[in-house]
Amino acid sequence: MGYPIDGILLVDKEKDEISFDVIRRMRQVLPHQKIGHAGTLDPLATGLLVILLGQGTKLSRWIMSQMKIYEGTLRLGVETDTLDATGEITARKSVPEGIADGLDAACAELVGEIEQQPPRFSALKIQGRRAYRLARKGVSFDLPRRKIVVKSLDVLSIRLPFVSLRVHCSAGTYVRSLVADLGTKVKTGAHLTALRRVSSGSFSVEDAIPSGSIQQGCDPHSVEKKVIPLGGALPGMAALQVDAALAGKIRQGYQPAWDELGGGSLRGEGMRGYLKIMREEELIAVAGGNEETTQDGRARLVRVFH
């Protein structure tokens, strides 16, 4: 593929490592690359981590905004300050045998557009400081509730006091908070004991490489072969094809009129109103839809790829 590498890489993150650990190892294997990721995972969590390479870092906003699917396990009857198994126990309650009958109904109450309270132990910032750092020091603060979308929340199995769930949700959802809310609804309390991200948008963890295989000394070509090029990194976004001449002009800073793109009717469709401008399989630019045009009606180029 050669350097620099532009695209994304799907990685299956292991438990007890932070997302930056994967970045650090990637830099050892591909030392001359610009590298980032689209959506962090807590150390407790495993599963899909989308690594951004080179100009792939320009795609962060669209990849991060995609719906996610998680599979997790919660424990009823025990609450913790972090809302997961890494925290200190704050409350214990009994778990009645008949609770299983009410779990599906409780899950249904959490489906749809809801307001969620983020965990105090999170990476969100309060006046420039990470919330989890303040929480560890016992500082009193409030995190604003925010709207999320839970498309589905299904019980996979029950082995009391443990319950396995599958969650299809919007970006920015804290599954820990969702589990805590479920524990409140069934009046036993609950905390998250395991979590795995199985998909993000069209990308699945089944297609990811194990994070443990990325380490100094491994064959960089084996990693490069798994890279998804820029043209395939936004499969959920509508696309317009342009010829070589127009592609070259766009890369030089030219903002085409919608008529030149030959697909003005597509404006506003695709991924939140954005469009890919393609030259065959090559990504040339991402343009805004109806809400992101210039004053003279030309396409507003949000990102250009060279």
Using an 8 Å Cβ cutoff, are 51 and 68 in contact?
no
Catalytic residue among 42, 81, 181, 296: 42
Q: Is position 42 annotated as part of the catalytic site?
A: yes
Tokens 């109806």 belong to residue:
290
DSSP 205: G
Using an 8 Å Cβ cutoff, are 7 and 228 in contact?
yes
User: Over its length of 306 residues, how does the chain's per-residue pLDDT go in tens digits?
Assistant: 456 899 999 999 999 998 889 999 999 998 888 999 998 898 899 999 999 999 999 999 999 999 999 999 999 999 999 999 999 999 999 999 899 999 999 999 999 999 999 888 878 888 788 888 888 888 888 888 999 999 999 999 999 999 999 999 999 999 999 999 999 999 999 999 999 999 999 999 999 999 999 987 788 888 899 999 999 999 988 888 999 999 999 999 999 988 888 654 454 445 667 889 999 999 999 998 654 555 566 888 999 999
**301 Cβ neighbours under 8 A, 6+ residues apart:** 250, 255, 277, 285, 286, 287
Report how far residue 7's alpha carbon sits from residue 9's, in angstroms, rounded to the nearest whole number: 7
Question: Using a CB cutoff of 8 Å and minimum separation of 24, what contacts does 266-274 make?
Answer: 266/238, 266/240, 267/293, 269/238, 270/236, 270/237, 270/238, 270/239, 271/62, 271/65, 271/234, 271/236, 271/237, 271/238, 272/62, 272/65, 274/62, 274/237, 274/302
H or E segment to which residue 263 belongs: none
What region, left, alpha or beta, does residue 4 occupy, with left being phi > 0 and alpha being psi -120 to 50 degrees? beta
Residue 212, SS3 per DSSP: helix
Report the length, in residues, of the chain: 306
Q: Please give the domain boundaries of the chain with CATH numbers for all domains.
A: 7-66+203-229 (3.30.2350.10), 68-200 (3.30.2350.10), 238-304 (2.30.130)
Q: What is the pTM of this model?
A: 0.91
Q: What's at 4, amino acid-wise?
A: P
H or E segment to which residue 106 belongs: helix 100-108
State residue 294's pLDDT score.
58
245 CB-contact burial (10 Å; exposed 0-12 / middle 13-18 / buried 19+): exposed
